[in-house]
């Protein structure tokens, strides 16, 4: 397996393209937006520059990695002659079903179709195709070039052979694959999202402030990042989407999203990507920090 296509040039998509290309694969990065492709390639180049500066890779490794990536706005052209497609589009079930139905029609019958979904049923996604045995979950963690874990999720009909192929492939990328069952939220988000939601509930009920909640978890539980800061990093809209999937999937009130989270997403306060969430990431706030550092 040498030819890979990645659908979506956003945070996860460009990270996935990065690790495949750095491992010597030929990668077709596909997005309907030329602007998103340019931004995604810029992010990959910046991340590689950081690795060069740190001495973890040589300048020639950076050049080779970038040369291994081709960009496409047309899906049909981008998935020609590939052996694996990894979908990393927005966490929206209708969109994913549409993409997989299209991929099933555009790719060779033996092509494996993987999704980077963080919570949506692999079995349901596979049902949109005529190759359920070749559809699998390949859930990378953010930031993809750094985080070692890949959750490998078998749908109801995913074959043992395809699962082994993707497990072995993940190791080739320098990742550590962990096979989990196909239930809402899988394992990572099944455990993480209730913790984040409970942290938001704690804030909502006035028991402590944002920084205090994060400090307790960082200093008391040795978490590298507090849960509210992590929620900003993931995206509050993504957190809400995952909680809704688990709530609908299990019909258990413990997964019901906190009203504060619902309101923040409705108000467009999505975290780092919108410039404000539980913390302020706006340009003016950054300027204040820079100014303070020179005083």
- Is residue 189 part of the annotated active site? The answer reads yes
146 near 18, Cβ under 8 Å?
no
Q: Is 142 annotated as a binding residue?
A: yes
136 strand-pairing partners: 114, 154
96 CB neighbour count, 10 Å cutoff: 21
Catalytic residue among 18, 47, 68, 139: 139
Q: Is 13 annotated as a binding residue?
A: yes
Token readout for 116 is 């980077």
Residue 100 contacts by C-beta under 8 Å, 6 or more apart in sequence? 87, 113, 115, 125, 126, 128, 129, 135
- Is residue 118 part of the annotated active site? The answer reads yes
Catalytic residue among 28, 151, 199, 276: 151
Cα(14)–Cα(16) distance, integer angstroms = 5
Cα(201)–Cα(289) distance, integer angstroms = 29
Q: Is 12 annotated as a binding residue?
A: yes
Q: Is 91 annotated as a binding residue?
A: yes
Cα(262)–Cα(237) distance, integer angstroms = 9
- Is residue 293 part of the annotated active site? The answer reads no
- Is residue 223 part of the annotated active site? The answer reads no
Catalytic residue among 170, 189, 199, 241: 189
Catalytic residue among 36, 118, 119, 197: 118
Q: Is 283 annotated as a binding residue?
A: no
Residue 73's Cβ-side half-sphere holds a number of Cα atoms within 13 Å equal to: 7
Q: Is 275 annotated as a binding residue?
A: no
Q: Is 9 annotated as a binding residue?
A: yes
From the annotation, which residues make up the binding site for NAD(+)? 8-13, 31, 91, 96, 118, 142, 273
Catalytic machinery residues: 118, 139, 151, 189
């Amino acid at each position: 397996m040498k030819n890979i296509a990645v659908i979506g040039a956003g945070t996860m998509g460009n990270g996935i393209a990065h690790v495949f290309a750095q491992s010597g694969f030929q990668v077709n990065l596909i997005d309907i937006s030329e602007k998103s492709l340019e931004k995604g390639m810029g992010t990959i180049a910046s991340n590689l520059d950081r690795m060069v500066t740190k001495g973890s890779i040589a300048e020639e490794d950076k050049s080779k990695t970038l040369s291994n990536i081709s960009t496409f706005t047309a899906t049909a052209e981008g998935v020609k002659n590939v052996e694996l497609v990894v979908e990393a589009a927005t966490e929206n079930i209708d969109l994913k079903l549409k993409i997989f139905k299209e991929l099933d029609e555009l790719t060779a019958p033996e092509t494996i179709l993987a999704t980077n979904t963080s919570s949506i049923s692999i079995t349901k996604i596979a049902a949109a195709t005529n190759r359920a045995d070749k559809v699998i979950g390949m859930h990378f963690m953010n930031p993809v070039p750094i985080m070692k874990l890949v959750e490998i999720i078998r749908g109801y009909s995913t074959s043992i052979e395809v699962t082994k192929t993707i497990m072995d492939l993940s190791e080739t990328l320098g990742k550590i694959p962990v096979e989990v069952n196909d239930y809402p939220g899988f394992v990572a988000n099944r455990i993480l999202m209730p913790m984040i939601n409970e942290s938001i509930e704690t804030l909502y009920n006035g028991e402590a402030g944002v920084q205090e909640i994060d400090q307790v978890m960082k200093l008391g539980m040795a978490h590298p990042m507090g849960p509210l800061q992590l929620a900003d990093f993931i995206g509050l809209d993504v957190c809400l989407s995952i909680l809704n999937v688990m709530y609908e999937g299990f019909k258990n009130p413990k997964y019901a999203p906190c009203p504060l989270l619902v309101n923040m997403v409705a108000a467009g306060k999505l975290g780092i990507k919108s410039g404000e969430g539980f913390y302020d990431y706006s340009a003016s706030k950054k300027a204040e920090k820079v100014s303070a550092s020179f005083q």
